[in-house]
Amino acid sequence: MTSEPKVINLDICDIERRFGVIAKQPAKCETHGEYASVIRKTSDTPSGCPECAAEAQALRDQAEQQAMYARMAEQRLERKLGASLIPKRFMGKRFADFHAATEGQKANLDKCVEYAEQFPQNLEDGRCIVMTGTPGTGKTHLATAIAGHIIVNHNATAVYRTVGGLLQFIKGSYGDRAEYSEAEAFASLVEPSLLIIDEVGATKPTEFELATLFAVINGRYEEQLPTIVISNIDAKELGAVLGDRSVDRLREGRGIGLVFEGASERSKRRAS
């Protein structure tokens, strides 16, 4: 059974004339068959296959939609990275940028990469990391690299705070003119998937500092959320500047202890 030939309408209606159509002529598309090619007074070139044009427009619309979704995803990522409060100097730090010259540095790098790649399990376990040792040996670099990796690859949230910044943030909730409550301040530190607390032991801790740090670490411990603590002091002295109860909670659940040794990279750069 043969199909009936396609009827091509070459008539020009009034609406088409208003849009500048002056003629129609039969044409044939290798893909879609015969069609009426339109000639307008604004163009010397007859129109092409309308079905090909529709398919091309659909592809353009799809590409535009995908680009829009990509822009939205990039904006969401930028907002999450901004909300992490990672300092500009450490924003965008990657594992590939870490200079591991010694076996100990290579081992620390491998541990941090493994922790970041397996973060969904570490998040479920509430597994913490304590980084201690010589200043300028890459502790903050690796901690913020972990944060960046889990934000980008695991759709997680991360927040970076120095001890001083954390205490100032909590104190900012006090007083009648405070823009947020103490409960909201603690919640912003307890709720993220990962919290990084840097510069632990940089100054002699007060009772307020020890109590506040314990409240934050214990709050995350109770929610089984991981915390990374960074300090330039010896690991054995951590209890004196962080509190033994806080240290116990960080170590529970196969908590990871990383010791950083060697010369300061900052000193090396100043000397070169």
Measured CA distances, 139 to 143, 144, 184, 197, 267 (Å):
6, 9, 29, 11, 15
Average pLDDT over residues 61-84: 65
The reply to whether 39 falls in a domain is: no
pTM to 2 decimal places: 0.70
Is residue 97 domain-resident? yes
Overall domain count for the chain? 1
Query: Comparing C-alpha atoms, which of 255, 258, 171, 260 is closest to residue 217?
Result: 255
Average pLDDT of span 46-56 = 89
Range of the domain at 123: 84-271
Say which residue, 5 or 221, is predicted with more confidence. 221
pLDDT at residue 37 is higher than 60? yes
Q: What is the pLDDT of residues 92-111, one digit of tens each?
A: 789 999 988 889 999 999 99
In a domain, 212, yes or no: yes
Query: According to the model, what pLDDT value does residue 223 have?
Result: 96
pLDDT band at 267 (very low <50, low <70, confident <90, very high): very low
- Residue 6, pLDDT above cutoff 80: no
pLDDT tens column, 216-252: 999 999 999 999 999 999 989 999 999 999 999 999 9
Tens-place pLDDT, residues 167-190:
998 998 998 888 889 999 899 899
In a domain, 218, yes or no: yes
Q: Does residue 68 belong to any structural domain of this protein?
A: no
Is 109 inside a domain boundary? yes
The CATH number of the domain holding residue 103 is: 3.40.50.300
Q: Is 57 a domain residue? A: no
Residue 256 lies in a domain: yes
